[in-house]
């Protein structure tokens, strides 16, 4: 009864976005990350980056 198909390995990423200049950064998920959390300074305009998305994609795709 092999209904549980082999699933590809997933890697979780965090997308940080600057609310002012729109710069986006993609990095691996870290414990404590959540959407709308303010993180570091934007390298372009020095405003605070905010986490806009957290998602998983296949290891092959990434």
Query: Could you tell me the smallest distance in angstroms from the CB atom of residue 54 to other proteins?
Result: 5
Query: Taking CB under 8 A as the rule, which mask of x and - marks residues 20-49 in contact with other proteins?
Result: ---------x-xxxxxxx------------
Nearer to other proteins, 26 or 44 (CB): 26
Which residues share a beta bridge with 11? 57
Q: How far apart are the first and last CA of the chain?
A: 32
Nearer to other proteins, 21 or 55 (CB): 55
Q: Does 19 bind other proteins (CB under 8 A)?
A: yes
> How far apart, in whole angstroms, are the C-alpha atoms of residue 46 and residue 44?
6
Distance of CA 23 to the CA centre of its chain: 13
């Amino acid at each position: 009864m092999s209904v549980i198909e082999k699933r590809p390995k997933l890697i979780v990423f965090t997308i940080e976005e600057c609310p002012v200049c729109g710069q986006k950064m993609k990095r691996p998920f870290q414990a404590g990350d959540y959407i709308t959390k303010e993180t570091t300074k934007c390298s372009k305009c020095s405003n605070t980056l905010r986490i806009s998305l957290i998602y998983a994609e296949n290891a092959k795709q990434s």
